Amino acid sequence: MNHKILSKIESILHINPGLLRNRALLEKTINYEFGVRVSLDTNDISKLTELVDDAVLEKYFSEIWQPHTKKFKYSGLSLIDEVNALTPKSVLDVGCGYNEFKNKIKNLIGIDPYNKNADIKTKILDYNPKTQFDVVLALGSINFGDTNKIFSELEHTINLCKKNGILFFRVNPGLKHDPPESEWISFYPWDSNFVVNCAREFGADILDMRNDSNERMYFVWRKK
């Protein structure tokens, strides 16, 4: 749940509760306040929040965001050789964005909910292939929402990895992006304790954990 969006919607309705009885006007108000284009089919606040959150993320990551892969010391281009050295038969890039590692890392499939350059356009939790992967990359993709969402996406991601498979992560410790269009995005405040505790919960060994460039965190798990 994006609590920033939830709080704003509650504030709008507190000022004008009549919007709950005028869906057309509520839709116009929501689209204006959040700078999105959504069609409302519900007055349920939780569902409205999820709808707006998804629209905000889609607009930002399909129209505004640009990758900075070259800037990262550990989770950038150096991963190409590191992953290829593992000679994986299958690699999954979760939230691949512009799919920059395609044709550079062998046997890679990139999924992303918002970028047309992905091999498969889908959300993490909606991706259910018949096979698991030797290596999984999640570089800046499991960053948005509350603990419940992050925990669920992590669990699903590790389930996509084979036993003894390797998972590479880059995460954001809650830092807002510069473009104003990111205002309503909820950046999860990752820290080392959360990484360690989640690894324990999911049965993963921590092979590496360090600060990366641009104030991001980098860590590597092995699935037991």
Backbone angles phi, psi at 102, to 5 degrees: -60, 135
Reference 67, options 20, 117, 126, 7; nearest CA is 117
User: d(Cα 94, Cα 142) in Å, to the nearest integer?
Assistant: 9
With b for 16 or more beta-carbon neighbours within 10 A and e for fewer, the 61-70 pattern comes to beeebebebe
User: d(Cα 90, Cα 76) in Å, to the nearest integer?
Assistant: 19
Reference 72, options 148, 162, 170, 203; nearest CA is 170
- Quick one: pLDDT at residue 41? 87
pLDDT digits (tens, 9 = 90+) for 45-79: 999 999 999 999 999 999 999 999 999 999 999 99
Residue 43 scores a pLDDT above 90? no
pLDDT digits (tens, 9 = 90+) for 150-182: 999 999 999 999 999 999 999 999 999 999 999
User: d(Cα 164, Cα 51) in Å, to the nearest integer?
Assistant: 37
- Quick one: pLDDT at residue 190? 98
Cβ atoms of residues 83 and 105 within 8 Å: yes
pLDDT band at 145 (very low <50, low <70, confident <90, very high): very high
- Quick one: pLDDT at residue 42? 84
Cβ atoms of residues 152 and 141 within 8 Å: no
* CA dihedral sign, ordered 121, 126, 132, 134: positive
The model's pTM is 0.94
pLDDT digits (tens, 9 = 90+) for 22-42: 999 999 999 999 999 999 988
pLDDT digits (tens, 9 = 90+) for 90-142: 999 999 999 999 999 999 999 999 999 999 999 999 999 999 999 999 999 99
Reference 161, options 209, 98, 94, 217; nearest CA is 94
